[in-house]
A and B are shown apart, each in its own frame.
Chain A
Amino acid sequence: MKFSYYPGCTLHSTAAEYDLSARAVCKTLGIELVDVPGWACCGATSAHSVNELLAYALPAHTITSATENAVVAPCAACYNRLRYTDVRLREDAHLRGEVESAMGRPYRAGVAVRHLLDVIANDVPEEEVKTKLQGTLGGVKVVCYYGCLLTRPKDVAAFDDMEEPRTMDRLMELCGADVLDWPHRVVCCGAAFSLSRTDVVYHMTGKLIASALRAGADAVVVACPMCQSNLDLRQPAIVKRLGIKERLPAVYFTQLMGMCMGYSSEELGFKKIMVDTSALIKKIKTGRAEAPAAAEG
């Protein structure tokens, strides 16, 4: 399996641990990733907030630069922007013309835009994933957080249910985690307001952290660097405001999968997470020692 890989801006900086763990897990699963040459920022919320043409032309540049027939994005926001662009450019010839003028070259239609979670969960048969697991997550309690852009809107992001997505839950169960139910799996974290209306992030992400802790989670599992950064980087300020003593590590699903594939926590960038993850890692290891057969169930 060969894919064009579009890491996106954050995986090259603040979310380096997502990049590390994504590449590691893909390597083990036989998914070959080839970086899109010359890829640019997708424009994120800012471009589509202020200039429609820019919001389509930036993702179109990256799609057109892809060398394979499918491009995989690990960031939910990039995925959403690329996919939205592809859908719109295929149905609106006039817009496509404008975008092509902006790029100065024809748009490459027909490149499938996929999210990394979709590829790992749906292109690799479950049985095959199982054969790659050397250890389990030891029954550690997790909640899976999908956020807003991974599953919405429904005619654009189409690999899971909009209100009750389960793709990540399924993978985590396969790895031997105790996946808890919680009501906030698709509620927005406040994403783009991190630097402008930080209080909005405190409010929205605060609800998520409180809800995950109420459910009894040891960690919240994510598939988006923006969600992770709001949950992790802003957590000290949030728990202080809420008067919460516990801490909740926000980790990437690829980091937890990688732990079951024999990679060390250093190789998976656990140390790059701001909230201390040592208790979580310890819990996984003791759980594993106590119930080594959990992977079978």
Chain B
Amino acid sequence: MEKQLGHPLSQCYQCGKCSAGCPAAYTMAEPPNRIIRFLQLGLYDRALSQNSYWVCSSCEMCTARCPRNVEIKEIMEVLRHDAFRRGITSGEAPVPAFHKAFLKTVEWFGRLYEPGLVLLNNLLSGRFFKDFTAAPGMFFKGKLKLFPGRGADNAAVRRIFKYSREEAPRGEV
């Protein structure tokens, strides 16, 4: 299991400090220390079927505070890559849909383009009118642009996306 994850697990003594400091634990089906425990016991699929790694915000609090140097956030990430590749959403479909929308806009424009992201995100997650109410205010404050900005090296970005998609065995975009 440690080999499969690429991160050691056995030193975890289940003190629970990771979960105590985790800002997302309240909405996880199983808190970070339990995910580590499942993995210690070889229950990989059980870990993968929880929503925990999808709602993890990658804030690093757990890894920073673990007295045994377990790389909890990094392990959450390994689970996320695998789940994304296999289309496992564990009840959190809007989260991977957002990541997909975000990366699509970056692939197209080289940079983030918020109005495009909101639209695409709503399309991919099937929530069509989400976040439209905030837009007019932002537009008048000059925070939203009508057109995507230019200046990014688009050719370089597309090349990176193409290569990462085709060559990387670790995840799909």
Residues of B with C-beta under 8 A to A190: 23-24, 57
User: How far, in angstroms, from A57 to B77 measured CA to CA in the complex?
Assistant: 17
Q: Are B77 and A48 in contact (CB under 8 A)?
A: yes
A148 with B112: in contact, given A50-B80, A52-B168, A271-B141 (CB under 8 Å)? no
> Which bracket fits the contact residues of A?
35 or more
Q: Would you list which residues of chain A between 230 and 287 have a CB under 8 Å from chain B?
A: 233, 271-274
Select the residue from B60, B94, B170 with max chain A CB neighbours within 10 A: B60
A44 with B102: in contact, given A51-B81, A51-B168, A188-B61 (CB under 8 Å)? yes
Residues of B with C-beta under 8 A to A186: 61
Q: Are A162 and B64 in contact (CB under 8 A)?
A: yes
User: CB-CB contacts of B14-34 with A at 8 A, as 1s and 0s?
Assistant: 000000000110110000000
Q: Are B98 and A196 in contact (CB under 8 A)?
A: yes
Select the residue from A10, A40, A48 with max chain B CB neighbours within 10 A: A40
User: How far, in angstroms, from A65 to B156 measured CA to CA in the complex?
Assistant: 11
Q: Would you list which residues of chain A between 187 and 218 have a CB under 8 Å from chain B?
A: 187-188, 190-193, 195-200, 203-204, 207
Q: Are A103 and B159 in contact (CB under 8 A)?
A: yes
Give A192's nearest chain B residue, CB to CB. B57
Does any Cβ of A come within 8 Å of B1's Cβ? no
Instruction: Choose among A16, A58, A200 the residue that contacts B142 (Cβ–Cβ < 8 A).
Output: A16
Give A103's nearest chain B residue, CB to CB. B160
Select the residue from B100, B164, B171 with max chain A CB neighbours within 10 A: B164
Residues in chain B within 8 A of chain A (CB atoms): 23-24, 26-27, 55, 57-61, 63-64, 77, 80-81, 84, 92, 94-100, 102-103, 106, 110-114, 117-118, 121, 125, 130-131, 134, 137-138, 141-145, 149, 151-153, 156-157, 159-161, 163-165, 167-168, 170-173
- Knowing that A50-B103, A65-B153 touch, tell me 15 more A-B residue pairs with CB under 8 angstroms: A10-B112, A16-B142, A40-B110, A44-B112, A47-B106, A51-B81, A52-B168, A53-B168, A54-B103, A104-B156, A148-B59, A148-B60, A196-B95, A200-B27, A204-B23
